[in-house]
Amino acid sequence: MARRLARHGLENVALVHGEALALLATTVPRALARAVHVYFPDPWPKSRHQRRRLFAPGSLDLVLGALAPGGRLAFATDHLEYGEAVAALLAGVPGLALRRLEGGWSEGARTNYEAKYVAEGRTIVRLEATLVGPLRRHPDANLALALGPGGHRAAAPPEDR
């Protein structure tokens, strides 16, 4: 990626290697980005692993919180179940306008994976969301935080003694 950016003379891009949610929670300032691009993330298809998904009610605020007012989120996946789950999740966010791109991006494939998947005839879910109002917590976020990982009620913190 760094070589491609240099080849195209792009200097307004920061590349960071790390666990996305940890970086969003500790390093990336809120409302920093005009655009956030997430292409073909791990769908964590097993139900016991879905708590690790980047797009889940309890973590969505971290992802969307990086967007500046008017900012855009671009998302694509070839995992249809995950794509539909992300579409439903984003559709439930107050202040976010969601658009599904049925025919693909106007400029064509955005990643090598996407070009390969298109050539193979795979169906790809492409979404574009724009922050059109003040960002408010997803309605299911509090439930997800209360239940904790894996959908189980989080343990109450120990009492101070």
CB 130 within 8 A of CB 70: yes
* CA nearest to 75, candidates 86, 66, 88, 65: 86
Residue written as tokens 């179940």?
81
What Å distances lie between residue 116 and 65, 109, 120, 123, 134, CA to CA?
Answer: 31, 9, 6, 12, 37
Please tell me which residue in 42, 61, 78, 160 is annotated as part of the active site: 42
Tell me the sheet residues that pair with 76: 39, 126
Assess whether 160 carries a catalytic annotation: no
Residue written as tokens 């964590």?
44
Q: Which residues are catalytic?
A: 42
